[in-house]
Amino acid sequence: MEKFKSGFVAVIGKTNVGKSSIINRLVGEKVSAIANKPQTTRTRIRGIVNRENSQIIFLDTPGLHKSKSKLGNVMIENAISTIPEADIILYVIDASKNGIDEKIIEKIKESKKKTILVINKIDLVNKEELIEIINKYKDLYDFEAIIPVSIKKEKNVEDILNEIERNLNEGPAYYDIEEYTDQTLRQIAEETIREKALKLLQDEVPHGILVEVSKMKTRKTKEMEKIYDVEATIFCLRESHKGIIIGKNGSMLKKIGTYARQDLEKTLDTKVNLKLWVKVKKDWINDMSIVKKFKAED
């Protein structure tokens, strides 16, 4: 009988390379917010993949970027701190972007960890360009494997899991096999609302958005159907941003709420009654009493 394997996999890389999309695809459930904007992931989010002979726990980390706030500093700390804790590193790069991030390569070298290089978005480059990328990276580190993938086209995705499992050590199941994330329902609701806001709002607004769920309770309708009452506040940095989030006659806030509710109903497999408010909380991204909630626990 094959021995059971388990381990933690840190998914690292620059912003917008597709880390969260890869994890969601591998887990088979949405555990990380996805938006085509930097700094979408703020905390370390665990996604759990249960296979016949293994349990793989993914640590989705914030993209490595130049920080301009205390929140940004905490996000970078979160990303880097996962490396020593992980059994395997999954280093994700974007095939369509030139240039090697020397700092990330240096962190990997310092760790001496087993590392798998995932070249994402291969649908955006031709075969010759891909070969050039592979040759460039294989000289930088002794990667366990270099896997070219396209999450968009669902190409070679299963190869990632197979390669991780091959490199795991024997170990126990750390989580119940029914679980796919260690996030609370409240955190999932906050991330879902924030993701919809990130996707719908103008570029200057999303970085300053904070979502806090103040109420999340179940009740029965008159027809005795289960329903979740969810109340949340979207905090932003400026009055002008508040106007953009609400939109003309509340149209934008309604759209954010509708998309978030639809997503939550799929996740929770039940009806959701979602109420949203918008408030200004000036310069919260530099307020450590708020920012510390994003700091990864030791």
**pLDDT per residue rounded down to tens, the chain (298 residues):** 678 999 999 888 887 888 888 888 888 876 655 544 444 444 556 788 999 999 999 987 665 445 455 555 555 555 566 687 889 999 999 999 888 888 888 888 988 999 999 999 999 999 999 999 999 999 999 999 999 999 888 889 899 999 999 999 999 988 888 787 767 788 888 888 988 888 888 666 656 788 888 898 999 888 888 899 999 999 888 888 899 999 999 999 999 999 999 999 988 889 999 999 998 888 766 766 555 655 555 4
Question: Is residue 176 included in any domain, yes or no?
Answer: no
Domain count, the chain: 2
Question: Who contacts 143 (Cβ-Cβ below 8 Å, separation ≥6)?
Answer: 91, 115, 116, 117, 137
Cβ-count burial 201-235 (b if 16+ within 10 Å, e if not):
beeebbbbbbbbbeebeeeeeeeeeebbebbbbbb
Residue 110: inside a domain, yes or no? Answer: yes
Q: Are 13 and 181 in contact (CB under 8 A)?
A: no
Task: Give the E-state strand segments of the chain in sequence order.
Answer: 5-12, 45-51, 54-60, 88-94, 114-120, 145-148, 169-170, 210-220, 226-236, 271-280
Both 224 and 266 in a single domain?
yes
CA–centroid distance for 278 within its chain = 24
Q: How far apart are CA 201 and CA 207, in angstroms?
A: 10
- CATH number of the domain enclosing 225: 3.30.300.20
Range of the domain at 165: 5-170
Q: Does residue 175 belong to any structural domain of this protein?
A: no
> DSSP letters of 231-264?
EEEEEES-HHHHHHHH-GGGHHHHHHHHHHHHHH
9 and 108 share a domain? Answer: yes
Asked whether residue 109 is domain-assigned, the answer is: yes
Task: For residue 146, tell me if it sits in a domain.
Answer: yes
Query: Based on the domain organization, do 148 and 202 belong to the same domain?
Result: no
Q: Do 128 and 39 reside in the same domain of the chain?
A: yes
179 in any annotated domain: no
pTM, full prediction? 0.65
Residue 22 and residue 128 in one domain: yes
Residues 130 and 21 in one domain: yes
Largest CA distance in the chain: 65
Boundary-marking domain end, from 115, 136, 170: 170
158 and 207 within one domain: no
Instruction: Check residue 195 and give its pLDDT.
Output: 85
Question: How, if at all, do strands 114-120 and 88-94 pair?
Answer: parallel
- Residues 260 and 288 occupy one common structural domain: yes
| Torsion angle, alpha carbons of 185, 191, 196, 198, to 10 | 170
CA–CA separation, 31 vs 24, rounded Å? Answer: 6
User: Are both 158 and 245 inside the same structural domain?
Assistant: no
- In single-letter form, the type of residue at position 191 comes to E
Q: CA–CA separation, 23 vs 30, rounded Å?
A: 8
Does one domain contain both 30 and 134?
A: yes
